[in-house]
Structure 1
Amino acid sequence: MLTFNAKSDLVTIDTDNGKLTATTRIIYDFTELFEGEEPGNKPILAVGFRFIDTATQPGKEPRWNNLDYVAKSGARTKEERAAAKLKGTFESEPIKPGQLLQYMVEDTRPRAFILQQKNPTITIAGLLKHTDQNWTTDEGDFVGGTFYFRKIATGKETTFMRLQVGQGAPQLNEFNIPVFREPVATVASPFARSHDLEAGPLVPNNQYSAIVLLSNTKGQWTVSTKDFKTKQRRMFLQFTHLHIDNDGDPFDSSNAAFNIAVKFGNQTVTGGTFEWENDDINDEDSNKRDFVLPSDYWVVIGPDRLDDEGLPVTVEVSGTEEDGSWIFDWLEPDEHASNAANDRAIEYPTGLFREHIPHATRVFKATPDSGNFAFTITMEYSIEYVEL
C-alpha cells in the first residue's frame, strides 16, 4: 500500500516562547509503485511542496517547488539513496502560524498514474499554541450510507477547514487538539469563507465521529466534534433474462439446469437461491436461446441484514447441460458452466449524489468449466440507503 503522509498535519508553533516556525516529519513508502515494473519502465517520482498563506492571490494556485526527497531524507551512500528512493522520512519545510504547507508526489512518466483519482497530497496547517475562536455563521451536515458531508460558512473570516472522520473516541495530541491517530478519512479545504467537504468512503450502518478544525491566516483555530451513524443499505435484485451463448450440443437442441445464488459475505441470502430448467435450448434458434425468467426471481437484501463490516454482495451463477442417459454421457459428457472465473461482486458507488442507484442492469456471464456450454444471466437492481 502506498504511504505518503505527515506525522502530524497540525503543526503548533509556541510563539509565547519565541518560536516563529515549526516542522513535522513526512513519511513515505513508494515500494508498491516499483513492484512488478520492468527495469526500463520504473516510476519516475517527483515530490513537490508549496505554501498557501496571506500572500496567495484568491483564485490563483501557488506554484509547486521541486524537492529532492532522497537527499532530504539524509541518505548519503549509494545503498542508502537506493533504499530512500523507495521508503523513508524527511523533515518538512518550516511552517509559520496561519500558513498551509502542501506536499504532492506524482509519477512523471508519460500517461502514468499513481492513484486512480488523483496524486497523493498532504496538507499541513500551522497553528498557534493557544486560541479560542468562533467564526461559524452557518453550518450543516448530511449523513449518507457511504459518506459524511459538512458545510460551514465563516462570514468575513477567511479560514482553512480540515474534516477528519474516524471510529472510536478521538485522542488529544500534545496541544490538546482532538485527532484520530488512524482516521478513516481526512479531507481539507484551503483558505475560503465557505467550505463544503465530503469524507468517505464509509461503511454503511457504522458509528463514526467527525472532527472539524477551522484556522485563520493568523494561526488562530477552533475545533468541534460530532458523532454520527451511517445509513443502512437496502438492495433489490431482480433476475430477468437468460441467454444461451452456447448450448453445448453441436448437433441438436439440448436440455440444461441453471442455478443462481445471492450471497452476503460467505452466507447465502435467505430467499436468494433460484433454480430453472429447460429441456429445449438451442443457440441457433432465436426462440430457444433467449428466455424471460419467472417474475418471482427477486430478493431484497437489508436493511436489517447489514452488519458493521460492510460485507460484499455477490451473485454466483452456474449451470449444467445434461445429455440424459449413460450412453449419451459416454459419447458426450455433461457440460458445466459458471461465473467462478468472472467478476461476481456488485459494485457500490460511494459519495453524495453517487451512492443511490434507482435502476441499473448487470450481466453475469457463465463461461465453460468443461466443454463449450455457456450462458448469460441479466439482473436489474437498485441500491438505496435508509435510516431505521
Structure 2
Amino acid sequence: MLKNKFKLLKTFDWKLFISLILLSLVPAIIQTIETFVISTNLSTSDIDIIGQIEWFDLIDETIRAFLIIPLYSILNKILKNYKDKFGEGVFKTLIVVFVLYAIFSIIVLIYSANLISYMNKDETNLSLVNSYLSISTIAFMIGIIVSFVNVVFVVIDKAKNIYLFLGIKTIITIISDFIVIPHFGVIGAAISNILINSILAISGVIILINEKAIQPRKFKKSDWLVLKEWGKIGVFSGLQQFIANIVYAVMIVKMVNMVSESGNYWVSNNFIWGWLLIPVFALTEIIRKDCKEGYFKLQQSNYYFITIFIIIFWCITIPLWTPFFKNIEKLENYERIFQIVIMLFPFYIPYAFQQIPDNIFIGLGKTKYNLINNCIINFIYYGIWYIIYKTNTITFNMTTIIMMFGFGMIASYIVSILEEKVLLKKEMKNLDIEEAGL
C-alpha cells in the first residue's frame, strides 16, 4: 500500500514545483541581501521602522485574498471550458484587479496616519514610519500586477516563463538594493521596491502578450457572470483573511510592538516566511492547479509525503540558522533572532500540513470553509486571549505571544482537517451524484 503511494509521486508536477521553488528563492536571497544592506547601513531604530511593514502587509494580504486567490478557480474554469477565450479573460480580470486594488490602496493611504498611531508606542518616529509606508503602498499597487502574472503562469503551466521572470527579478533587485538603500536609507527600501515591481510588471505583461495569454477586449454583459462568481469566492477568502489579519494585528503585531521587539520579530518572520516556507508555498500553487481536475482526482498522498520531506529538511538545517544570522545577514542580535525562530518553528509544522486542505478549498472555489475556520479560531480562541489581555490576568512577553500564536495555528489545523475530511468530501460526493443525474 505504502509502496503504491510512493509510486504516485511520479505523477506529481515536479518540473513546475521546482520552478516555483526557484522563483521563490530569489525573494529569499534578495531579502537576505536586503537585510545585510540594512543591518550594515542603518541603525536598530531604522530596522524597527522597516519592521512596521509587518502589520502593513496584513492589509495587503487581505486585499489580495479578495482579488488574487479566487483567480485560481476562475482562470482554471475558463481554461478548461472556454480555452479560446482565456486571453480575453486574463485581460479583463487584470483590469478589475488593478483598479480595485488601487482604490483600496488609496483608502489605506488616507487613513494610514491613524493606523500607524494606534499600532505604535508614543516614542516611535511616526512621521518617518508614515513616509516609509506611504511609499511602500505605491510599490504594493504595482506589485499586484506581478502577483497576477504569476497566477497566470501557474494556471497555463509555463515553467519557462517562471524561469525568465526569475532571472529578471534577480538582476534588477540586487542592483536596485545596493544602489538605492545605502543612498536613501529607510525610504530607500521602499523606493527600491517600486523600481523592482515596475520593471517586473512591465516584463510580465510583455511575456503574457508574447505567449498570447492576454488579449485586450471590451467588457460585455456576459462578463457579469464571471465577475459574480469571482466576487462570491472572493467574499469568503477576503473576509476570512480580513478577520485573521485584524486579530493578528491586534493580538500579535501590536503586542510585539509594545514589548519593543518589532525589529527582531520582523527579521525572524522574514526568515521563516522567506526561507523555510518556500517549498510549502510552491506546493500550494500545485494543489490549486491540480484542483481543476476535481476533488476525487487529487493525489493527496503526494502532498503529504512532500510536506513530510520538507519538515525533515527543516530539521536538518537547524544547526545552520545561527551562522546564517551571524555571518550572512550580519545581525548583531543573532542569538535573540535564533531564540525567536526556534520558538516559532514547531508551530509551523502543523501550519505546513494545514496548507493542503486549505488550498484544496481555494482551488475548488470552496473558500467558505476557510472563512468558517477563521471565525472559529479568531472569535473563540483569540477571543479568550483578548479577555485575558484586557483583564491583565497574565503578563505578556515575547514567549507568551509566541505560545498564544502557535497554539492558535494548531487549533486551526485541526479545524481544517475536520472540514476537509467530513464536510467537503460529503459535499463533493453529493455534487458528483447531481451531475451524474443530469
Larger radius of gyration: 1
TM-score by length of 1: 0.21
TM-score by length of 2: 0.19
Q: Which has the higher helix share?
A: 2
* Higher RCO (C-alpha 8 Å, min separation 6): 2
Q: Which has the higher strand share?
A: 1
